[in-house]
Chain A
Amino acid sequence: MSEELLADVFFLLGFGVAGLMLPMVPLLLLRYIRPQHPSAVKLQPYESGVVQTTAPRRPFHMAYYNFALVFIVFEVETVLLFAVSPVLRDASWMDLLKAGIFVVLVSDGLFYAWRKGALVWK
């Protein structure tokens, strides 16, 4: 790790610690001020006024999984583009064309998923 990067990491670490402390310290201190009268009924989950009948931790809609899969493909693509994009400004037409071909190839993945019906919310 370069020294500059290490310096940034320590700065962000300090920033993050401050960020965690500022909401947490009032939360801990307010414990002594706010009322605390729990009862069995109050601690039930909210279900529009009736007793909860179905547990929320159950299998859920399959469509979420499809979208998550397509997401991973494109997220990896964007990370790769981030590595390339800052140097494209001074690149030649040939290099630009190569980057363009990469984008077109990945777009093909989108149209494959589209044709297979993975992008339909049903």
Chain B
Amino acid sequence: MEVNWPDWLNFDWLDLGWLELPWVDTNWFHDNWYGLLLLGFFWGVVVFTMVGALTAVYVYVERKVSARIQGRLGPMETGPHGLLQTLVDVVKLAVKEDVRPAAADALAFRLAPLLVVVPAVMAFVVVPFGVPMVIRDLNVGILYFLAVPSVTGVGLLLAGWASYDNYSFLGGLRASAQFISYEIPRTLAVVTVVMLSGSLSSAGLIGAQADTTWFVLLLPLSFVIYAVTTLAEVNRVPFDIPEAESELVAGFHTEYSGFRWSLFFLGEYASLTTASAFAVALFFGGGLGPVLPPVVWFVLKTAVIVFFAVVLRFTLPRFRQDQLMALAWKYFLPLSLVNLLLAGLVMKAVF
């Protein structure tokens, strides 16, 4: 790939080499297992802090957008235009009593929020923020992106089961059924992109799109399948059956309160962000774009997709459970199998 980026972008600054501390041998981080462990730990702390801050912004944006759509003002009291509202909410959640039902399974009840939030955030490792920039360019990056956040499904089921609550139990069951149903069309849509990019690394993905064009132009059907199934995967409207407020009283997290509850929220927003970021990487050329640096392009494109998901939430009604399953198995799965064959033809035409 022959692209001339400015030096400071080409520089492998994610490897801490840019620190150039005279007393630190930066190679040390890559030569020893404990160095790698530390490096991973460092990036873990950075990414988790970032996601926490991002979620606060999301909550504010979502409340403001919903207010605009519904003809309200939204949060206005705390700070100018309610800007500090989320911050205050975090404090409220942190000092709220943590109620665990007496009949609940203590260990599973504690473990479930962690199983939801940690895999969702771990997916950030392979997100290609800029053209040369990935936190760690795993050679199985795309497979990793599909596999690791799937653990979230186990977390939802566990939360529902552990709560010892009928609503939660149903919510957990529905969540896992929906999760596995939409997983297959989604994976098959990503497989078509892998066919065109010729590698499973997420940096290679951007390189392949720099050589040809945005994959959304070559595989429009794949993008449609990916977009709809991803909404289902992150439990967004119109696929929020597992946590339907009016039927299941919040579903799998009915019994959760305070900080533990906010972890579910964090996980949901983190997976929405990574899924949107990967939609950009898979179909919209990642950070490729004129004039502006790649990172800015990447963030802009991701923001547009996330904004679209937020608007959808307040525009569409919810699917019914049987409609939801029929849509996945009778429409999207056959469609994605046909799409797989079509993508083979497109691939032969392009390369």
Contact = CB atoms under 8 A, between A and B. Distances in A.
A112 interface: no
B166 to A, nearest CB: 5
A24 B196 contact: no
B30 A10 contact: no
Given A15-B43, A18-B45, A54-B166, A74 B200 contact: no
Given A23-B263, A75-B184, A82-B143, A16 B44 contact: yes
Interface string B8-49: 000000000000000000000010010011111111110111
A22 to B, nearest CB: 4
Contacts of B337: 103, 106-107, 110
Interface of B is mostly: helix
B326 A47 contact: no
Contacts of B191: 78, 81-82, 85
B40 A14 contact: yes
B341 A103 contact: yes
B330 A114 contact: yes
Interface residues of B, number: 84
B55 to A, nearest CB: 12
Nearest to B135: A15
B95 A18 contact: no
With most chain B CB atoms within 10 A of its CB, the pick from A26, A40, A71, A88 is A88
Contacts of A23: 113-114, 117-118, 263, 266
Nearest to B186: A78
A82 B177 contact: no
B165 A18 contact: no
Interface of A is mostly: helix
Interface string B98-116: 1111111000000001100
Given A16-B122, A86-B198, A75 B99 contact: no
A19 B48 contact: yes
Given A15-B43, A64-B173, A20 B114 contact: yes
B122 to A, nearest CB: 6
Given A82-B194, A110-B333, A15 B255 contact: no
B184 A45 contact: no
Interface of A: 4-8, 10-20, 22-24, 26-27, 30-31, 33-38, 40, 42-48, 52, 54-57, 60-61, 63-64, 67-68, 70-71, 74-75, 78, 81-82, 85-90, 93, 96, 99-100, 103-104, 106-107, 110, 114, 119, 121-122
20 contacts: A4-B139, A11-B43, A12-B40, A12-B122, A19-B44, A19-B118, A23-B114, A23-B266, A30-B95, A45-B165, A56-B164, A56-B169, A64-B173, A71-B184, A85-B191, A93-B348, A96-B348, A99-B344, A121-B325, A122-B322
